Structure 1
């Protein structure tokens, strides 16, 4: 019989404390890193990650490109580990994100990047890990032990740590201010747990779902779809709200469940238009994030954080609550998903 208070939800509820501790304790480390970044003046950024960590990097890609004007690419670790090639990354800022810091392919990618002159940074929860030793700089996630297979607090910590770096590099006072109150914003988001549980009941018999978002919230869409797969075995797929209308919309028919992530940034108008068009097909929209004038029968509206980048954290947190309670509604244990384990070592 599955627990009624799974570790996944317990760890999700730790998010405000994790983020507060991270922002406070990482502040001097960020300042040291900024001096090095400005001294070496990288021309581009490369991220190295897998799974939830890679979804965090997708959010950070938008934040870095829009705030700093540096192009961001996602590394393919198998280029190093399977194809045996090294990349020319001497003027790159390489950001590796990992909860465990143990996956050999991520470690190898960072080791080779550093050897060729890249400025390497590890966002990692395990500070004594191989990844932490491989990187030149380490920004700890400070999430404490994460036992649930489905990562929650470490994903949110990855976003907070990356955005703290972006805010400092861009000298963005609005973003810095949003980060200061982010723990309170996340605490307010946790008050939505009963609403999330009620919304989850609607989908206890669902077999498929599409998750849509755009811009930074596309990274949240990817993460949301993964969590729905991991915890409930739901065949959930994430798409850009713009790209979905270019072909995948063909699968939609009346009653099709769509989790629609709505941001409070420059993407808001375009995503609202896309969701309005989908509503005309009589799909069932669950609107998550910002409010929007849409005929969505279900809503999970999150508190505004004060900046579009930081709004991604309450959006993701609310979906974690939804996913955890959906698994419980389906009689499943989100802490014991078949065929999965906490750390996957990829070579």
Structure 2
């Protein structure tokens, strides 16, 4: 097999990316048990201080997790959420007025100076600050008022998997307690089992990946809570497979990007079973009737790669993301690439 000189040979053992993705059920179990006291303290603070809006601070995979959190907070707490541009403060010197805000920073390493400095600014300005971070002794964990550890343990693969999945779940017990949503509490308790069932789909994910082995471009579609998973999928396809991939809302796709279908660009659609299900299904059916090369992944009935339902809209994206990671790792292997050694990238990126 001829490999690109910038890449390593396929590892003989399972790539770290796959090994770490397979830890997801245990990560969620640890979160639910070990974060309980912090969750209760944060819920008490939110009830007392009643933030009027929320902003998120993150980059890369963590920012894609924030897209999912945005939908969760807006749909279940009616709390408007905006994404803060870190460089507005660190490069342009603007001190934003974040009084009355809930500021949520997400970072696997907790080491990126721009995220840390924005949390410091927000807390000094009177915001309620929360960090979702894996490295508990990091700069970010010291700056935030509340820390919800991701509980992943060490993550060695350059491509984040278990830390992204943990970022999707860390705040959900807070939402469940604030809203008294017993169904969400039940879904969280059952989520490790759903993730274990998802791991049983690895052979199917490997088979689906095979048909994309020669793809150089790929468009990823989703609606609602799954859109942040689509963003993450597009990043991972670039990172691990060298594929130029972009994520679009299925609602926005017809506003220009649909033109690319005339060039034969294939599609991967995330298929939800929540309130966005009918809209996504309708959009995908229309694309397929027009001849689009589209396969789907998610909890909706009839998905090409059908993931387990979890019993709640807020937890359904987690198995979808895990199934995609299985797909992406095997796609890299099908292409003769090592997903653990993407060219030009390192595990921690420090930006200002």
1:134 is matched with which residue: 121, 126, 143? 143
2:159 matched residue in structure 1: 150
| Structure 1 contact 23–160 (Cα < 8 Å) conserved | no
Q: Which moved more, 1:272-281 or 1:108-117?
A: 272-281
2:11 matched residue in structure 1: 3
1:198 is matched with which residue: 198, 207, 219? 207
1:28 is matched with which residue: 33, 37, 49? 37
Could you give the per-residue CA deviations for residues 135-166 of structure 1, whole angstroms, max 9, x where no partner exists? 01111000000000000000000111022222
Aligned partners of 2:254, 2:32: CA distance in 1, in Å?
Answer: 38
How many angstroms does 1:255 deviate by? Answer: 5.1
| Structure 1 contact 254–282 (Cα < 8 Å) conserved | no
SS of match in other structure, 2:248:
strand
Aligned partners of 1:110, 1:190: CA distance in 2, in Å?
Answer: 36
TM-score by length of 2: 0.96
Q: 2:283 aligned with 1:278, yes or no?
A: no
1:151-166 superposed matches below 5 A: 151-166=160-175
Q: CA RMSD in A?
A: 1.1
How many angstroms does 1:265 deviate by? Answer: 0.6
Aligned residues: 343
Gaps of 5+ in 1: none
Aligned partners of 1:166, 1:75: CA distance in 2, in Å?
Answer: 21
How many angstroms does 1:170 deviate by? Answer: 1.8
SS of match in other structure, 2:283:
helix
TM-score by length of 1: 0.97
1:245-256 superposed matches below 5 A: 245-253=254-262, 256=265
Aligned partners of 1:101, 1:164: CA distance in 2, in Å?
Answer: 22
SS of match in other structure, 1:231:
helix
SS of match in other structure, 1:242:
coil
1:84 matched residue in structure 2: 93
2:307 matched residue in structure 1: 302
Could you give the per-residue CA deviations for residues 302-339 of structure 1, whole angstroms, max 9, x where no partner exists? 00010111000000000000000000000000000001
Aligned partners of 1:32, 1:247: CA distance in 2, in Å?
Answer: 46
| Structure 1 contact 143–153 (Cα < 8 Å) conserved | yes
Aligned partners of 2:91, 2:147: CA distance in 1, in Å?
Answer: 26
1:316 matched residue in structure 2: 321
Q: 2:239 aligned with 1:234, yes or no?
A: no
How many angstroms does 1:290 deviate by? Answer: 2.4
